[in-house]
Amino acid sequence: MFMKTRQGLLLAALWAALLPLAHAAAPPLPAESASAVASPERTVSEWLMRMHEASGKRAYIGTFVVSYGPGSMSSARIWHVCDGAQQMERVESLTGAPRSTFRHNDQVITFLPETKVAVAEKRESLGLFPNLLEAGDFSIPAFYAAKVVGSDRVAGFDADVVVLKPKDSLRYGYRIWSEKKSGLVVKLQTLDVDGQVLEQAAFSELQLDAPVKMDKLGQMMANTAGYKVETAAMVKTTALSEGWVLKNGVPGFKPMSCFRRSVGGSADSTVQWVFSDGLASVSLFAEAYEPQRHVQEGAMAVGATQSLTRRMGAWWLTAVGEAPQTTLKAFVQGLTRAK
């Protein structure tokens, strides 16, 4: 579902982040076994880079199931292929409104067959833990620790179970099932500060090294016949040039990018300032305050994705991210107009 309002832009950014997961008690993990003990000892950075690189090197077809609350579940069919630096993907929604999303590197187009609209956009950050490509700029080991806690099978594949535990209360933890041979993430749980599961995403069926053809996906992506193509423009800018500064930074989170976003040539635009600690990301959105639309300040949660809105004079601010509310509050309270 994509809305042409600026709220739709916020939702698009939200869903481009980590897929939401299960607000339920975690199932018991297998006890540490000989295979788990025999798994190579790796630092948190080594585990993360292995997982990230595996997602870009393997061709696969799979069914991905996401759960993020009692009775809340969605699923999608994924076709993924890579050829050197070229990445291409097709994601077909199996639940909710019909939707097909194609991605070629940072170019993304989403087909909405019910409305015959195709939304084209550019997304710089995609995939699981997308900012790991710049991990050298982060101090991930200062904020997370990694530990192998067992072995398990997911979608027929043997996997190491790795827990990434945060060292403070400003970020969530993760329990990750990493396929033993390649490192591909086949299951992921996001954990709150008490270690309870907020979200879960996992492959229910997976075919590695599948015969996915990049040229065929490219043809499907380019076939917009019968659709009205709307462009979600993202113009690179800087927070300072847009009149914003963060007077107090949030430990571990560094600015990654800043854009002005608009849809379909609309004159209305939203500034999006993105921060990351190398794993989690937080986006700050600033737009002109409109009393007809911006009625209620407050917080909202969908699985591990939190949001916080508040009015600041003539501006309406929204913080969205996979981080606790205390983290979002720190961002919003630190954001101010440049003098």
Q: What is the pLDDT of residue 89?
A: 93
Domain range spanning residue 329?
233-337
Residue 47 lies in a domain: yes
Residue 223 lies in a domain: no
What is the number of structural domains in the chain?
A: 2
**Which residues lie closer than 8 Å to 138 by C-beta, 6 or more apart?**
131, 252, 254, 276, 277, 278
Q: What is the pLDDT of residue 176?
A: 94
Handedness of CA 115, 121, 88, 224 (dihedral sign): positive
Residue 134 lies in a domain: yes
Are both 276 and 147 inside the same structural domain? no
Are both 121 and 270 inside the same structural domain? no
Are both 186 and 283 inside the same structural domain? no
pLDDT in tens, 147-186: 999 999 999 999 999 999 999 999 999 999 999 998 999 9
Stretches in the chain below the pLDDT threshold 70: 1-40, 124-138, 263-268
Residue 228 lies in a domain: no
Residue 150 lies in a domain: yes
User: Residue 186 in contact with residue 205, Cβ under 8 Å?
Assistant: no
Q: What is the pLDDT of residue 62?
A: 95
Q: What is the CATH number of the domain that holds 67?
A: 2.50.20.10
User: Residue 298 in contact with residue 272, Cβ under 8 Å?
Assistant: no
**Which residues lie closer than 8 Å to 145 by C-beta, 6 or more apart?**
44, 164, 165, 167
Q: What is the pLDDT of residue 261?
A: 81
Q: How is residue 302 written in tokens?
A: 């969908």
Are both 63 and 152 inside the same structural domain? yes
Q: Is the pTM of this model over 0.85?
A: no
Q: What is the CATH number of the domain that holds 241?
A: 3.30.200.100
Residue 41 lies in a domain: yes
Q: What is the pLDDT of residue 196?
A: 92
